[in-house]
Structure 1
Amino acid sequence: MTDNYQLRKLGDSKQESQQWDDFVDSIDTGTFFHLTGWKRVIETVYGHSCHYIYATSNNNIVGVLPLVEQKSRLFGHALISTPFCVYGGVAANSESATLFLEKHAIELAHKLGVDYLEMRYPFARTNPDLTEKCAHSSFGWELADSPENILAGIKKKQRAVVRHSLKNDLSFRVDHDTKTAYDVYSESVRNLGTPVFPQKYFAALQQEFGEKCDVLTVEKDQKAVSSVLSFYYKKQVLPFYGGGLFDARALKSNDFMYYQLMCHALESKNCNFFDFGRSKDESGAFKYKRTWGMEPVALHYQFHLVKAEALPNLSPNNPKYQFFIKMWQKLPVWLSRRIGPFLSKYLG
């Protein structure tokens, strides 16, 4: 039964936002991507309309659902929980509260006239009004109790790669240098044929999440070759935006970077889990993460079609995007940084 719940929409009150975040902190299904900081970042950087709704019972929060409306002539009109994030959907303390918020999300999707509603659950749902699409998987593992044991736990072939990287005279630093992270990341995704986010997005994430966010940069001869912006939450480290320059492959600096991040998260952040994020099934990134010894866990994204006649397919593997990807790979980096943000705001 869902009759005993009251529906509320999150406003701008700091007290209300804190109550929401306290609830997310308190339940197992609450993830870093359910925090209200994402609402402020997305509204400020991208200008998207956010519809953050929650359920209460006896004036206590019992479930939250972050929703963001994206509207583009090129990529369509969608209501997503949550764009730019790996996980989303309802975080609640009961199935009835979850169903209550899903029902209202569907009603909101119809009211807004979107093409579809998307909720990025990491677990399966049984709501008959939602259609599941498992096209991505997440990767992760428990961190061992020392750098030596972390290294020993890596799959044999990848462990040899990491050991090779440790002999390449690489150094690393951990700070809040989002400019370097952006410079490396933007060149990396240009090489993949993907539009990059605006630089102010990285800066906004650091400013919003503070000590829950940092940057690890790998250098060779005092020049950055790999860099990753990571999040820390509930004793987990989430490397989120990472990449390497042309020299990274020969230097194995990305492998060095992720190993050093595991060690840093263990020793300096008291983390016990490494969340390697999502990858498109059978993609290059998917296969790379498996080389570490991590097994894929299916992500159970849920959809409700409103105006759309079929589930969306914004994957780079979609044949209709192949010409665009090849063209983008040929752009000068400076130009990709200039025009990428106009497209990437709809591709999160």
Structure 2
Amino acid sequence: MIWRESFSEKPEWKAVVKKTYQLKEHFVAVNGKEISLFEGKGIISNAPFITDGGTLEDFGNHIRTMPKRKSIILLKLRRRIEINPEIKYALDEENFSFYLDLRKGKETVWKEDIKSKTRNQVRKAEKSNFETKIGGAELLDDFFKVISEAWRDLGTPTHSKNFYRNILKELDGNGTFNSRLIVLYLNGEPASGACVIFNDEVIHHPYAATLRKYNKLSLNNGLYWRIIEFAADSKISFFDFGRSRKSQGTFDFKKSWGAKEIPLYYYYFNVKKLQNMEDSAVAKTLISVWKKLPLALTNFVGPFVIRKVLK
């Protein structure tokens, strides 16, 4: 593996989840060792609201026992494991994360890894003369203004402002991981932003967005380059671009930055067959409806939807 630790395995992240959503925590015995899982509606997950659940190295390469429950148990892993054939499960191998090696420095990454088209889009964004601010809770209102509107326009519910506030509070550098907000401004108005979580090894940007009206300025590319600059200047070794499926346009976008694929293995226990609801007709209809809802309504309802889905 590129890096061993995942912030999803840390008590700080669990505190964020419990404080924001009051999810029920289960301590489940797997191979005679306890694992912490959080329960939503009909599903229990080791990595709620994020895409990478780490490696669970302590369990070895096999899962010999898994508690039988009515709820689905979802383990999101960065490695393949062997499962006792008597255990009922289904495996989703369609998800990938991506990483960019920053150890050679941002100048080398710019020249050797990032494709020329993407470099041109970064230059285009910089011609708009956006301003960059990096900080904490003082940027929260501006960050939330961007991500709530941008995700609504994508048909995706966003977390509450309190969720992001708890990230900044709990992942504050006193533990293993730290967090910051990076916000880009045009004419004094917030236009693009990311919530980044990082340690000395890796930086993640699990929550990021750019307002739709600025897409023509390639501002999203400007945001990604600012994240890379921040990470490289902070001597962070890798940038984790997050999850995409091969059928998604973001898959090719991340590869255009020179990012390399990391397979993700999603093990669903207590089911025999996967049902991909994300690409279903019902999901597409709900996305279309969500895009048309007033922002105040989606900001209010979104956290309730996210809590129920828990993926």
Aligned pair 1:117/2:79, yes or no?
no
Measure the CA separation in 2 of the matches of 1:341 and 1:52.
25
In structure 2, give the amino acid aligned to 1:156. S
Aligned equivalent of 1:248:
214
Match of 1:78 in 2: 43
1:309 to partner: Cα distance: 5.5
Shift in alpha-carbon separation, 1:292–1:90, aligned structure 2, 3 A: closer
Task: Measure, in 1, the Cα distance between the counterparts of 2:27 and 2:252.
Answer: 35
Q: CA deviation at 1:280?
A: 2.6
- Whole-angstrom CA distance in 1 between matches of 2:287 and 2:79: 31
Moved more, 329-338 or 148-157: 148-157
- 1:47 has 2:22 as partner: yes
Task: Return the letter of the residue paired with 1:209.
Answer: L
1:303-336 deviations in whole A, cap 9, x for unaligned? 212xx55324242x22221211111111121221
Matches within 5 A, 1:50-65: 50-52=25-27, 65=35
- After superposition, where does 1:91-170 map in structure 2 within 5 Å? 91-93=56-58, 95=60, 99=63, 103=65, 106-107=66-67, 110-111=68-69, 113-114=70-71, 116-128=72-84, 129=87, 130-152=89-111, 153-170=113-130
**TM-score, normalized by length of structure 1?**
0.79
Contact 2:4 2:54 in 1 (8 A): no
Q: What is the distance in 2 between the residues matched to 1:254 and 1:240?
A: 14
Q: Which amino acid aligns with 1:67?
A: L
> Given the alignment of the two structures, is residue 203 of structure 1 paired with residue 173 of structure 2, yes or no?
no
1:313 has 2:276 as partner: yes
Q: Deviations over 1:253-299 (max 9, x none)?
A: 111111111111111x3201110011132212222212222243321
1:227 aligns with 2:193: yes
Matched residue of 1:247: which SS? helix
CA-CA distance at 1:346 after TM superposition? 2.5
The answer on whether the counterparts of 1:29 and 1:91 sit within 8 Å (CA) in structure 2 is: no
Q: TM-score, normalised by structure 2?
A: 0.88
**1:241–1:39 distance in 2 versus 1, CA, 3 Å:** same
- Report Cα offsets for 1:198-226 as digits up to 9, x if no partner: 11101111111013000110111111110
Identity %: 22
Structure 2 counterpart SS, 1:217: strand
Q: Compute the displacement of 1:345 (Å).
A: 1.4
Any stretches of 5+ residues in structure 2 without a counterpart? none
CA distance in 2, matches of 1:123, 1:346: 27
Runs of 5+ unmatched residues, structure 1: 1-26, 58-62, 72-76
1:336 matches 2:301: no
Shift of 1:39: 1.9
Q: 1:34·1:88 contact (CA, 8 Å) conserved in 2?
A: yes
In 2, the alpha carbon distance for the partners of 1:89 and 1:220 equals 37
Report Cα offsets for 1:138-173 as digits up to 9, x if no partner: 111101543322321311211111122222211201
What is the aligned counterpart of 1:345 among 301, 307, 310?
A: 307
Larger radius of gyration: 1
What is the alpha-carbon distance in structure 2 between the residues aligned to residue 29 and residue 154 of structure 1?
Answer: 25
CA contact (8 A) 2:97 2:261 kept: yes
Are the equivalent residues in 1 in contact too, given 2:145–2:190 (CA < 8 A)?
A: no
- The answer to whether the aligner puts 1:214 opposite 2:150 as a matched pair is no
Pairing 1:33–2:3 present: no
Q: Is the 8 A contact 1:136 1:279 kept in 2?
A: yes
Instruction: List per-residue Cα deviations over 1:110-156 (Å, max 9, x = no partner).
Output: 24x21x11100111111133432112111111015433223213112
Aligned Cα root-mean-square deviation (Å): 2.4
Whole-angstrom distance in 1 between the partners of 2:51 and 2:76? 7
Does the Cα contact within 8 Å between 1:33 and 1:86 map onto a contact in 2? no
CA 1:203 to 1:271, structure 2 compared with 1: closer, same or farther past 3 Å?
same
1:260 matches 2:226:
yes
